Amino acid sequence: MKSLGIDLGGHFLKGALVEEGAIAKRQKISTPRGRDPEEIVAAISAMIQKLDAEGSAVSVGIGFPGMLDRTRETVLQAPNFPLLENYPFRTRTQETCRRKVLIENDANCAALGELACGGARGLSDFIMLTLGTGIGGGIVSGGHLFTGAHGKAGEMGHVPVGEEALCACGAPGHAEALFGADALKKAFAEAGIKGGIPDLWLRRGEPGVTKVWDLALDALARAIAAAVHILDPQAVILGGGLSRSSGLLETLRPLVLRHTAPPFRETLDLRLSLLGDDAALIGAAGLGKTIRMT
């Protein structure tokens, strides 16, 4: 059975034709600059045509970087796509593509991808964190995606960690206001430190650089510890671009343990994603057959 997965990101729009959990064909373009809803829908529609002109895919799943309503029809909040808020994104895409379309939060898609054929294979209860522009989160409980009473569960990037930095969501002190590419770029710029994030990770032994990373990593560790205490997962899986920073797991683990109660320390299983950037694509492609747990 073939299906299509779309991963809408702030910088790139990616798509894949997926067959039995494997990517058969893929496409990647820059996200339309104006981020106008109609332009985005048109770009997704064109990508679908390129990936599957003959219409062999049974459904299209879209991973979206923002909070969605319970019915997965509209976008509630998306700092990178403010024009899509309250826009009937799923219906408009379905009408334009003339295919069955489903949307889901992108980190939830990554969790489903890892569950189907990645680092969470065989697990029933785990947390997925995507470390990119911000921090995305997904929860799988009892083998199903857990979305909460209103569809917004799993937003671990918005866990308050005791600082006052303003988050892109508008509230102060959230973890992704300190950890994530956007927050780090801002913190390094304010400290007068130049360089890209991968380079600054390698230079994290330098005094000024260490200070910024320490604060950011502590925020991430606190968010992970909070989620672990609430959900008692079998594993915490880290994906997204920043998760590929060499030695991140080794650096992060003692910080998480520091904020963790002893019984939880023994069961902490912090892992890296096995599918990388393909997790959200594969998870999105499988949305047509996913049963959501609320």
Query: Which residues of this protein are in contact with Zn ion, per CB under 5 A?
Result: 158, 167, 169, 174
Pick 170 or 205: Cβ nearer Zn ion: 170
Closest separation in Å from C-beta 66 to Zn ion: 12
Closest separation in Å from C-beta 137 to Zn ion: 11
DSSP string of 228-278, one letter each residue: HHHH--SEEEEESGGGGSTTHHHHHHHHHHHTS-HHHHHH--EEE-SSTTH
CA distances in angstroms from 260 to 101, 229, 243, 272, 284, listed in the order given: 41, 8, 21, 19, 32
User: Is the separation of the CB atoms in 275 and 119 below 8 Å?
Assistant: yes
Closest separation in Å from C-beta 268 to Zn ion: 25
Q: CB-based contacts of 123: which residues, under 8 Å, 6+ apart?
A: 115, 140, 234, 235
State CA 245 to chain mean position distance. Answer: 16
Pick 79 or 288: Cβ nearer Zn ion: 79
CA distances in angstroms from 93 to 28, 43, 74, listed in the order given: 18, 10, 11
Pick 60 or 135: Cβ nearer Zn ion: 135
Tokens encoding 208: 């000024």
8-state DSSP, 290: P
Pick 176 or 218: Cβ nearer Zn ion: 176
Closest separation in Å from C-beta 126 to Zn ion: 23
Closest separation in Å from C-beta 82 to Zn ion: 15
CA R_g for the chain: 19
Closest separation in Å from C-beta 182 to Zn ion: 12
Pairing of strands 235-239, 126-131: parallel
Pick 101 or 167: Cβ nearer Zn ion: 167
Pick 64 or 201: Cβ nearer Zn ion: 64
User: Is the separation of the CB atoms in 281 and 118 below 8 Å?
Assistant: no
